[in-house]
Structures are given as structure tokens and as C-alpha cells.
Structure 1
Amino acid sequence: MPARIPSWAWVSGLTAGAVAVAAVLAVQAAQGPRPTAPAGHSRPAPSPSASALPSPSASPEPPAPPAVPADSGTGRRIVYALAQKRVWLVDESDKPIRTFPVWPGTVSPDPDSYAISQRVPATTGSDGVEIENILYFAGKSGVFIAFSNAVDGSSPPPAASGAKTGGIRMSKEDGAALWTFGEKGTRVVVVP
């Protein structure tokens, strides 16, 4: 008489098989086409019977970026808000085309209007970090003030006690965008 296979073995085998099939189907689904809405069509309005509560799968709208400070002038410019630790790139029509947070050094420029005076592709910062996309625009207390980003994309460490640094750092992507936008002579408006 043949040996009888215990029921737990059957259940385990069937479970393992089902998991393997589900994994294969998931991989195939992830690689398949995804439905897209035709261009120019808006989302359908919810039906009157739809619940007022958001569905668990609905993601909230991202917050709107902060508005360009009202006291930053007009025209094509770079706006740097000291208190917000934020930069805006503003085009000729006064439309902000990009905004991003920054990490200021220990010496900040006074609120005023400046211009990009020098562009340096790469160097070592006063904190010893390899930096790139350096745009000098001001000086204060014997310290040059410039926008830049770390080559490795890191944020700056806290300045050593008493060190005077004028670098205003940003992410690598934001540094590349600012480098492209900030030609020599581009106006930089610093607001409180």
C-alpha cells in the first residue's frame, strides 16, 4: 500500500504554489501597460451619492509652493528670503519657475539687490566640502557669499564653532538649475 501524504503537507504545497503564482502575476502586471487618460480630459466629477470622506487610496494634493515675496521687485531675478531659507527663480514675466529650500552659512547678506559677479564651476568650500555651481553675489564681514551645492549632494554639516561661512547650499538638482538660470549679471534680491 502506498504511503499516505499528511494533510499538512498538501496544504503547505498548495499555499506555496499559490504564493508563487501570485508573485508571477504581480511581476507581469507591474511590467504591463498602464491606463492613461487622454490629453485634455479632466477627471470625472464624483457622483452625488459619493461619500464626503476621502477614500483611503486617495492621496492628498501637494501643498502649493510658497509665493514669491511681494517686496522682491519685478522682472527676471533670483530671490533669496533669509527667514524662509528659500530661493525662487523668477522669469521676465514675474512667474516663479522654481523654488527650493537652502542651507545658509553663518554669514548672511544684508537685504538688498545684488548681481551675480562671478561663476566658478567647482572648488573646495571653506568647510572643506567639494562644491560646484558656485555663484558669487555679495560679501560681508570679509566673507564672500555665494550659492553652491555639494558635489556629493549632501547638506552641509553645522559650522565649526566661530567659523565664518558664506556658502548658501542647496540640493544638487537645485544647484544645477540655479547655475543654468544665474548668468553673470543676473539680479539677486535678498529679502528679510
Structure 2
Amino acid sequence: MARGSSGIVAGLTAAALVAVGFLAYQASANAPDSVAVPKPETSSSAPAVGHDRPKEKERSTALPAESGAGARVVYALGDRRVWLVDAQGKVTRTFAVMPSALSPRPGVYRVGSRSGSIKGSDGVLIEHVVRFAMADGDVPVGFSAAQDGSMESPDPTLKTGGVRMKRADGDAMWRFATVGAKVVVVP
């Protein structure tokens, strides 16, 4: 009798799965467009897969036009990018940075001081600190690289002025931006 009852159970299970599958198909076929899963649009010129994610705003790598002349460091707040420009106006290096919690106003500044290795105001060990401005009245702003290589977003509750970059970029900044070097901050 055990063999007969296991066959009945298997048959009932199969029938239940078929019924559930049929009901699910019916429900999805009759669902209003507002709750249905959107179907991807395809065209003959574009592939149908991998393009449904929103694109991140592309940041420009071109030197901002209104960034002055001569040897200078250009820091574009909106693009989160720095350019090192030689005396002939040629870009020798450009790289992305992580802005500090506080930013300087757009304008022309001069490198006022530098430190080889210190602890940042956020407690992170940093190197190649190149200070060039003050923000919010009393917070020094400068370029630096975290010794652990991190470029974390700053804690917005802390009054920090460290514009972080990768260590290789920090090395280049250190060689380029000596005391008195011009720093141009653009929006």
C-alpha cells in the first residue's frame, strides 16, 4: 500500500504545481501595465542587454578655460578634478580628487605651507600635504593623500579641509606645488 500512496502524493504534487504555474501565467498576462515588469525596448542599432542602468554624470578632463595662465594647480570643485599646468600652459597631469567637507571659494590662492606626513583633522594619517586656502574662517584647506591609499567621502559633520587624492597623484602634487605656487579654484 505504501507504493500506491506515494504515487498518489506525487501525482497530486505535480497537479498542484501545474495549477499554480497556470494561475501565475494568467495573473501576469492580465496584470495592468502599472504593475507589470517593464519589457526592454530594443532597436536594430543597439544591443538589448547591459544598458538599463542610469549613466553617472561624466566629469570633464579638459582643463577649464577660465583657469588663468602660466604655471598653476587648477582645482575644479564641480568636476572633482585637479590639473597640474606648467609655465607654458601645458597640462602635465590631471587626476580625480575627493573634495573635503569644506571647500574654498573659487579664486586664486598661493601655497602657504606644506607638511610631509601628519595626522589629518579626520584622524587619518596623510602625506604630502599642500595647504593653500582657509575655509569657514579658520579651517585650512589643502591637498593630501592618505597613507593607506583611501579616498573616502569626508564626514559632513566634521569641519575638514583635506582634498584627498591617490598616493601617486599626491607625489606629483608634492613635487609640483612648492610654497608660493599658484592654485586656481574654479566652480
Deviation digits for residues 140-174 of structure 1 (CA, Å, limit 9, x no counterpart):
11211010000111112541x52111000000000
> Which residue in the other structure is 2:161 paired with?
166
Question: What is the CA–CA distance in structure 2 between the aligned matches of 1:75 and 1:158, rounded to whole Å?
Answer: 32
> Which residue in the other structure is 1:147 paired with?
143
Q: 4+ residue stretches of structure 1 with deviation over 3 A?
A: none
Question: What is the CA–CA distance in structure 2 between the aligned matches of 1:176 and 1:115, rounded to whole Å?
Answer: 19
Q: Name stretches of at least 5 consecutive residues in structure 2 with no aligned partner.
A: 1-59
| Residue 76 (structure 1) aligned to one of 71, 95, 103 | 71
- CA shift, 1:128, in A, is 0.6
SS in 2 for 1:83: coil
Question: What is the CA–CA distance in structure 1 between the aligned matches of 2:81 and 2:154, rounded to whole Å?
Answer: 18
Deviation digits for residues 48-71 of structure 1 (CA, Å, limit 9, x no counterpart):
xxxxxxxxxxxxxxxxx7211000
Name the amino acid aligned to 1:146: G
> Which residue in the other structure is 1:175 paired with?
170
Bigger Rg, which one = 2
Matches within 5 A, 1:1-192: 66-141=61-136, 142-159=138-155, 161-192=156-187
Deviation digits for residues 87-129 of structure 1 (CA, Å, limit 9, x no counterpart):
0000011000000000011100000000000011010001110
Name the amino acid aligned to 2:172: A
CA contact (8 A) 2:101 2:161 kept: yes
CA contact (8 A) 2:111 2:180 kept: yes
> Which residue in the other structure is 2:47 paired with?
none
Q: Percent identity?
A: 49
Question: What is the CA–CA distance in structure 1 between the aligned matches of 2:65 and 2:153, rounded to whole Å?
Answer: 32
Name the amino acid aligned to 2:173: L
SS in 2 for 1:165: coil
Deviation digits for residues 5-62 of structure 1 (CA, Å, limit 9, x no counterpart):
xxxxxxxxxxxxxxxxxxxxxxxxxxxxxxxxxxxxxxxxxxxxxxxxxxxxxxxxxx
Name the amino acid aligned to 2:178: E
**What number of residue pairs does the alignment pair up?**
127
Name the amino acid aligned to 2:110: A
Question: What is the CA–CA distance in structure 1 between the aligned matches of 2:169 and 2:94, rounded to whole Å?
Answer: 9
Question: What is the CA–CA distance in structure 1 between the aligned matches of 2:135 and 2:153, rounded to whole Å?
Answer: 21
